[in-house]
Amino acid sequence: MLSLHNATNVVLRLRQNLSVWGVRAQNINIGGGVGGEIPDQNRLQYALQHIHGIGRSKAHHIVCELGVENKYVRDLSKRELYSLRELLSKYLIGNDLKKCVERDVGRLVGIQCYRGIRHVDGLPCRGQQTHTNARTRKSRPTWRGTR
């Protein structure tokens, strides 16, 4: 019978070689529940942008700090993947970033400041005009009228 630890390792290995609709994804487990699945058919700098909280400049900074050329993820060695995991663990990304932002917005709502009230009302909270713009932020549920 498999222990829980061994079963978890088996699941992680299966997820690393997961193929969905012909697109393979390599799972880089950062630890702490963050986890980041990046496609292995892309170059490292572009693939890192699939992780929530990593954009163009941060991906470029990570690749430069890692000291590897911008090669395909599938061509990375185990040592490079390990150093990438160590480097990514320093950043606030993934689920940790989402929880932090949610906690910050919850704090604003809790103290009932202007920004918190705007978040609750679903309106822009950084001073943008709402008379003609902010259509995505002001979107209301559609309702049917009688004809």
Distance, CA of 106 to CA of 119 (rounded, Å)? 9
Look up residue 47 and give its two tokens: 């693939």
Neighbours of 34 (CB within 10 A): 21
Q: Please compute the mean of the pLDDT values over residues 56-72 and round it to a whole number.
A: 93
- Residue 81 pLDDT: 87
pLDDT above 90 covers a percentage of the chain that reads 33
Helix 95-110, helix 114-121: angle, nearest 10: 110
- Residue 21 pLDDT: 47
Distance, CA of 38 to CA of 81 (rounded, Å)? 12
- Residue 97 pLDDT: 92
SS3 106: helix
What domains appear along the chain, each with residue ranges and CATH number? 4-88 (1.10.8.50), 94-140 (4.10.910.10)
DSSP state at residue 36:
E
Give residue-wise pLDDT tens across range 2-41. 565 665 665 555 555 554 445 555 566 655 455 567 888 8
pLDDT at 58 over 80: yes
